[in-house]
Each structure stands twice: as C-alpha cells, then as structure tokens.
Structure 1
Amino acid sequence: MRRGVWSLGQIEACPILIPKASHLATLLTLHCHDKVFHQGRRITGGKLYSIGFWIVGAKRLLNSLLGKCVTCKKMRGSFCSPKMADLPEERLTPGSPFSYVGVDVFGPWSITSRKTRGSHITQKRWAILFTCLTSRAVHIEVTEELSTPSFINALRRFIAIRGPVKIFRSDRGTNFIGAVKELGMKRVAAEDDSVKNYLAEYGCVWVFMPPILEAYGSG
C-alpha cells in the first residue's frame, strides 16, 4: 500500500522515524511550527506526529528551534515596565492628616437647580478633590463654577474644617494658579532647583507639578 493513501490511524500507528540531527528533521519541525501558528512545543510535536513523522529526541530539537524563533520571542516577550519616579518626601513621612495635600478638580455634571411650570433649569457643578498625601484621606468640596473665586472659597472651607496645610500639590490648572496669586501664597515649580529650600520654610507652600509640554517639548 502506498504511503499517500494510508488512513490517519495507520499514519499515527506507523510513523516515519527521523533522527533529530538530520536537516530534514529541522525543516519538518519549522514547517509544523509555522502551521500551528507558533504555538508551544507540545502542539508543534503533535502536529509532526499527526502527519506521520516521529523525530527521535524531538524534545531537545523543539526546545532548541523554538528558543531561537524570532516570532515566538516577540509574542512571548515580557513588556517593558517604565521606571517609577521617586515619591515626594511628604508621601513617606508620617504627619498629621491633611498637612500635605494633593489637589485636583473633576466634573462637570449637570444638576437640576430649579423646577418651573412645565420645565426645569439645569446647571453644572464641579468638585474639588483634596487628598491627604500621608493618610490618603479624601475631602471633596463642590463648586458652582470652574473659576478662581469659586476655588478660593472652596479652599477656605477646606482649611476651616481640616486645619492649616503645609504643602499643596497640583497641576498647573488656571484656577489653581489664579488662586495662588489672589491669596499671595508662595509658588514653587517642581522642576526648580530651590524646591527643597522652599519646602523647608515654615508656612503654606503650593507646589506645581512640571507640565508635560515643558518636560518633553511642544514639538
């Protein structure tokens, strides 16, 4: 009986033996590995066996060839993890709650401020998030508009409830910058060389994080 008309069971029962050191074994292994779309050693070996070939010492051959496969290295390679920057000193130093505070704004969302006959009036609201950098506690103040006066009022309410703050940290939002100017607070750029000197001084200091455009260039 010719080999080409054997059934699948006959092919698997009587496979052709091929030594692993032969060039034919390498070509067959690479061909089957490509047919199974670069899957693992067992699936590639099963494909070889299913088409009627038995490579003596196939385990070592498969490990050697699959270890050199560029496609497999790309598919199974580990992702590069970016190096995390050093945490601010106030995140690691124990202290009173809300002595070191991070500030951010989220919103807006629409609310129904007043109902009239047959309709209603909707307005927007924003929320200012004060986060304690030491204990991770959260304080939220709601504002009617995203402006410097509204933010100053929210800031005063926060300080009245939580007490004095040593350092604020935020991005360079226009409302934050305007509030710092209105209140006459000291402003520190995080990329400035004199940051440590400002942080050591007594009183409330506002630290602005470096903007992305300035850090990486606008182009």
Structure 2
Amino acid sequence: MLLPKDHRVTELMVRETHENKAGHSGREHTLALICQEFWVPKGWRLIDWVLKGCLVCCRVTWKESLQRQADLPAGRVCMVRAPFTHTGVDFFGPFTTKQSRKWVKRWGCLFTCLNSRAIHLEILDGLDADSFLNAITRLSPRRSVPERIRSDYETNMIIADKELRAAALSWEMDDKVHNALLRKRIEWEFNPPHASHIGSVWE
C-alpha cells in the first residue's frame, strides 16, 4: 500500500511503529518494519523528522558537550624556572591569637607557586600595605624573588604594587643595592574586579 509522505496519518503510523514495534531503535530498523506492509516515498526523511522529535531517543543518543578552553598561561607550564617565580597570592582569616595578656587579630597570607602548586604561608599583623610588603620581603630570601605576582583586585595590593614600583626605581639609582636581589622589579597582575574564578589556583 502506497502512503503519502506528507500526510498526518502516515506520520502517526511511523510514530507508532517507531515507539511500539521498533522499540525506539534507529532509522533503518523502523524503515524496514514499515516497508513490510506499506511503502512511503522517501520515508527516511519522515522517519528522521519523527526521531528528531522523540524525547526518548533524544535522551538516549545525546552527546556530551565539551567546553572550549584556552591555553594555560606561560607561568603555569614553565618547568625550568625556580619555584615561586610566578606566584599567586591571597589572604585568609582573621584568626584570634593571644599575645602576652591580650587577644589580637592576625591574618594569613598564602603564596602559591603557579607552576608546582607549592605554598608558602606568612602571618600578617593587619591588612595594610606595609604588612603585605613585609610578607613579600620575608618570602624573597627563603624561596626566590617572584618575577610575576597575580592577585585579586584589592586595595592593599594596589598600594603595595605602587610602593614596590617606586622602591624599584629608587633602588636602581642607589649603587649600594645595585646588585642586590631586591632591585629586581616584580610584575604585578590583577584579576578583573568581581572575577575571582580567574584565580582558581590560589582561591
């Protein structure tokens, strides 16, 4: 029996064959079952349209989407450099500690090597720029002088960046510390505001 390909009855028959007889199988098996009794000109197109709207088939044959990711920064994959050459920094706390007879607040400063994921902890007396500069000064002789520091866009870190740049310029003019490690400029890179997910390495 010849059936028209664009008729409602033909569509219902194809849908019933696909769901009940074929058991939500593919196009070829559904077309073979239909051709046992009927002939639909270019029936594979109608079957493809029915399969596209079948919820059961869509759930069974769905493909996992892959998110496009950019390449890692150069500081994350450079294995020949010393640890803490590229460093991420963040604060945590406060913690209440006892100093002599009074309780005081202290904060933690976390330095993370972006290459080896090693960490270095420092204790800060406060969240001002001076305390943060002291933490960097204590980090340098123990590990190495960082070439690039990445951090969140915070006020104390912006002030520390300006003071480090001014100090680096003054050290270049001074012959006493011309060959010292502290004269090396530290490149500071801030994450955009309200984008803490960029610093997932140290967050």
Structure 1's unaligned 5+ residue stretches are 1-20, 31-44, 49-54, 188-201, 215-219
- Relative distance call for 1:92 and 1:56 in structure 2 (3 A) is closer
Structure 2's unaligned 5+ residue stretches are 1-8, 32-46, 169-182, 196-203
Q: Deviations over 1:128-174 (max 9, x none)?
A: 11112222211111213211111111111111321322222223221
1:74-93 equivalences in 2 (<5 Å): 76=62, 78-79=64-65, 81=67, 83-93=68-78
Q: Does 1:68 align with 2:52?
A: yes
Letter in 2 for 1:89: A
How far does residue 178 in structure 1 lie from its aligned partner after superposition?
0.8
Q: Does 1:101 align with 2:87?
A: yes
- Relative distance call for 1:86 and 1:204 in structure 2 (3 A) is farther
Q: Does 1:126 align with 2:114?
A: no
Letter in 2 for 1:61: T
- How many residues are treated as equivalent by the alignment? 152
Letter in 1 for 2:90: D
- Relative distance call for 1:158 and 1:70 in structure 2 (3 A) is farther
Give the fraction of aligned pairs with identical amino acids, expressed as a percent.
31
Answer whether contact 1:180 1:186 (CA < 8 A) is retained.
Answer: no
Letter in 2 for 1:209: F
How far does residue 175 in structure 1 lie from its aligned partner after superposition?
1.2
TM-score by length of 1: 0.53
Letter in 2 for 1:69: G
- Match for 1:25 among 13, 16, 19? 13
Which structure has the highest strand share of the two?
A: 1
1:1-219 equivalences in 2 (<5 Å): 23-28=11-16, 48=20, 55=21, 59=25, 60-61=29-30, 64=48, 67-69=51-53, 71=55, 73=58, 76=62, 78-79=64-65, 81=67, 83-93=68-78, 94-105=80-91, 107-113=92-98, 123-184=104-165, 203-212=184-193
Answer whether contact 1:98 1:165 (CA < 8 A) is retained.
Answer: yes
Letter in 1 for 2:30: L
How far does residue 211 in structure 1 lie from its aligned partner after superposition?
1.1
- SS state at 1:184 partner: helix
- SS state at 1:101 partner: strand
Letter in 2 for 1:99: T
TM-score by length of 2: 0.56
Please identify, of 142-151 and 60-69, the stretch whose mean Cα deviation from structure 2 is larger. Answer: 60-69
- SS state at 2:98 partner: strand
